[in-house]
Structure 1
Amino acid sequence: MGDSARLAVVSGGGTGIGAAIASTLAGDGYDVLIVGRRAEVLAATAERIGAECGRPGAVGTVAADLADPEQVSLVAGAVGDRPVDAVVNNAGGYRGGDLGTLAGMATHLRANFDANVVTAILLTEALRPALRRPGGRVVLVSSIAAQRGGGGAYSAAKAALHGWAYDLAGRLGADGITVNVVSPGYVAETEFFGDRMTPEGHAKRVADTLVGRAGEPADIAEAVRYLVSPAAGYVTGQVLGVNGGSVLGR
């Protein structure tokens, strides 16, 4: 990674949507710092992307649990004195739990909030002083579940990102920094569903779209590419649905 290149930090960057975002931005000439909890996965992804874009050192890695404030500081340390052009908060996912008791429900709620909201807020706040002024970009990856429900605590957590993004956009607008949300619909080829996805579930989700196909990680990466680009300098405080028409704009 060289000091002269633009720098993007992508959480949850080891696999799926995050890896696709990292690959797209590296291909555009960014240095990319990918963050996740699994060091070996991050290392393999960084090596692959570096080889694909012809810049072996383009992608750096930080293994950290972003719900832990002390570990978030590792990311700021890796950034050092460099200005950050884009922070892409992609870490998160559904956390299961025992919903049969109030205690179990409380644990379930907190786990989903930590994974999807606390991670994004802590990472963004840790890097906020380093964001390029003007021209910095913050992107949060939400979910169609935030807009139509169906995910319980996960839906609630992703919806919370929207309100926080609106607030942050207001705080950072005067500095020339934009803050936006990308809200994916059903995206195949990720670890999100694990072994929970069935052929019937896949078919139903595809049928819910207007375009007749599942999303791909690259679909989300292209939306992020636009939002972090100079072309999106007049776009802030927005939720961009990338869902094949499963939920119409509102």
Structure 2
Amino acid sequence: MSRTVLVTGGTSGIGRAIAQRFAADQEEVFITGRNPDTVAQAAKEIGAHGVVCDATSAERVGELAAQLGDLDVLVNAAGGLPEPASGDPSTLEAQLAQWHSSLAQNLLTAVLTTVAVQAKLTNGSCVINIGSIGAERRGGSYGAAKAALAAWNASLSAELAPKGITCNVISAGFVADTNFFGGQLAEERHRALVNETHNKRPGTVDDIAQTAYFLASSGARHITGQTIHVNGGAFTTR
């Protein structure tokens, strides 16, 4: 039986790859993004339903939830680096704007969307939040927001797991061929990120998509409240 899947930030990069993976199995997939043209084009190419939605807006997220019925899989993939500071980045005003931007994009998008659709999640549903290796080191306001995402996920799991709903974070390492760095990643930095891994290769969007697909499978029903690190060994746990 076809499942209903919602992927926020599903028009490019990791979000798009996850949406494509579910759509390939004939699941009913909804993707969101802020740009109407980008949403429409991506939805057509993926074979998904496209919904224009700024996930930092409570009003827009509420309107999104009203369009959905029961939801089997929620993937909170919307996020990104903070907006560049205007003027002197060392001022308190610039710092406040940067932190607000990081928290809004990488934490509040997931919180608002999940709360909005929570009543539509049923026994057997799952919530997957896309985190980052930046939460573990050198992440600045972006990393701090992703660390907060993982902390929130743990409390969300405690709330929803008794209802048969799993909640996990996929913490992605360096993933090539996305718009994350805006084309500004120097070759030297690229080499350094690859050299940090054990398998000496960058991650791919498919690495993350396949992990998300597994977490939504029957084989992952006893995995909840976890942060799954997908980074080729660049950050290890024990």
| TM-score, length of structure 1 as denominator length | 0.91
Matched residues in 2 for 1:22 and 1:39: separation?
A: 17
1:103 corresponds to: 93
1:143 corresponds to: 132
Question: Are positions 1:112 and 2:102 aligned together?
Answer: yes
2:17 corresponds to: 20
CA deviation after TM superposition for structure 1 residue 10, in Å = 0.2
Matched residues in 1 for 2:22 and 2:237: separation?
A: 26
Matched residues in 1 for 2:46 and 2:54: separation?
A: 22
Deviation per residue, 1:29-50 (Å, 9 max, x gap): 2111001111211211111122
Figure out how many residues of one structure are paired with residues of the other and give that number: 235
> 1:12-161 counterparts in 2 under 5 A?
12-50=9-47, 59-79=48-68, 82-95=69-82, 96-97=84-85, 98-132=88-122, 134-147=123-136, 149-161=137-149
1:56 corresponds to: none
2:222 corresponds to: 234
CA deviation after TM superposition for structure 1 residue 104, in Å = 1.1
What is the RMSD of the two structures over their aligned residues, measured on CA atoms? 1.1
Q: What is the one-letter code of the residue matched to 2:210?
A: E
1:168 to 135, 156, 159: 156
Matched residues in 1 for 2:104 and 2:111: separation?
A: 10
Structure 2 stretches of 5 or more lacking a match? Answer: none
**177-186 vs 37-46, which deviates more?**
37-46
CA deviation after TM superposition for structure 1 residue 102, in Å = 1.3
Matched residues in 1 for 2:90 and 2:52: separation?
A: 34
SS in 2 for 1:191: coil
Matched residues in 1 for 2:159 and 2:18: separation?
A: 26
1:190 to 161, 168, 178: 178
Q: What is the one-letter code of the residue matched to 2:32?
A: V
Moved segments of 4+, more than 6 Å: none
1:54 corresponds to: none
Matched residues in 2 for 1:138 and 1:249: separation?
A: 23
Matched residues in 1 for 2:67 and 2:182: separation?
A: 31
SS in 1 for 2:67: helix
Higher strand content, 1 or 2:
2
Matched residues in 1 for 2:13 and 2:161: separation?
A: 30
Please tell me whether the aligned partners of residues 62 and 78 of structure 1 are also in contact (alpha carbons under 8 angstroms): no
Matched residues in 2 for 1:73 and 1:166: separation?
A: 24
**197-206 vs 177-186, which deviates more?**
197-206
CA deviation after TM superposition for structure 1 residue 195, in Å = 2.5
